[in-house]
Amino acid sequence: MDQFLGIILTAFMGVVAFIARDTYVRIINKKKRSKDVKMLHGLRAIVLVGEAMDMIKENTPAERVLLLEVADSGEVPRPGSRMFSRAIDVKLGHHDSKPRQDILAHYGEFLIDQAYIDMVIEAKRTQRAYKFEVDKHPPCLLKSIYIDEEIKYSEIHHVYSDTEKWRQYILSISTNKEGEHFTDAKARAAIDIGVNAIRNAFASIKS
């Protein structure tokens, strides 16, 4: 009788161990599939952002379409924080002679001033273009950069806030053509459609 109970108990424990292993494997596979889905979703978002930037570049007089990240060391911004801006991607117009990698390196990571922070806040608050007319704008870091690069006008659009990592993402659309403010209907439509597409691509990563 004891031997029979031992056999039953051993068989039962084997079944329990099998179920536990099977459940564990299912959980691991589910997590892996979830990570794979998120990775593919992220890759698609990168492609969509790049395509939207290309579309803006091809349908406007813009010489440069630049995606930037604004953040500090990853902590909550507070008085005393050092804020930086960093280039993520850039699309160049036909007349921009600077190599793409040189521009990305130039904007690799630079310390920004109060005026730059105010600009990001305003673009985020209104969800509209912050219009930067270089000749008329008060002195600031970005004006010095634009003068050095002979940029005459730029629009800055806020496209995403990462509240987990305390990062802001902005899109800069600029031209070196005197008097150009992207008021043409085709250019305006391309910018509006492109900016919304980029916002949706960023938002989709969290959905």
Q: What digits encode the pLDDT tens for the residues 91-114?
A: 987 666 677 777 777 777 889 999
Place of tokens 């005459």: 152
Mean pLDDT, to the nearest integer, of 21-40? 61
For residues 137 and 46, the answer to whether their CB atoms sit within 8 Å is: no
As given in the structure block, the two tokens for residue 31 are 């997590």
What's the confidence (pLDDT) of residue 173? Answer: 97
The bridge status of strand 64-71 relative to strand 153-162 is unpaired
For residues 201 and 48, the answer to whether their CB atoms sit within 8 Å is: yes
pLDDT at 82 over 70: yes
What's the confidence (pLDDT) of residue 104? Answer: 78
pLDDT at 32 over 60: no
pLDDT at 201 over 70: yes
pLDDT at 12 over 80: no
Would you say how long the chain is, in residues? 207
What's the confidence (pLDDT) of residue 43? Answer: 84
What is the number of alpha carbons within 13 Å of residue 184 lying toward its C-beta? 11
136 pLDDT band (50/70/90 cuts)?
very high
What's the confidence (pLDDT) of residue 106? Answer: 74
Share the mean pLDDT of the chain: 83
For residues 140 and 154, the answer to whether their CB atoms sit within 8 Å is: no
Dist CA 29 CA 146 (whole Å): 51
What's the confidence (pLDDT) of residue 81? Answer: 76
pLDDT at 23 over 80: no
Alpha-carbon torsion (15, 21, 25, 27), positive or negative: positive
pLDDT at 11 over 60: no
What's the confidence (pLDDT) of residue 98? Answer: 72
pLDDT at 73 over 80: no
As given in the structure block, the two tokens for residue 143 are 């004006």
As given in the structure block, the two tokens for residue 163 are 């509240």
What's the confidence (pLDDT) of residue 24? Answer: 54
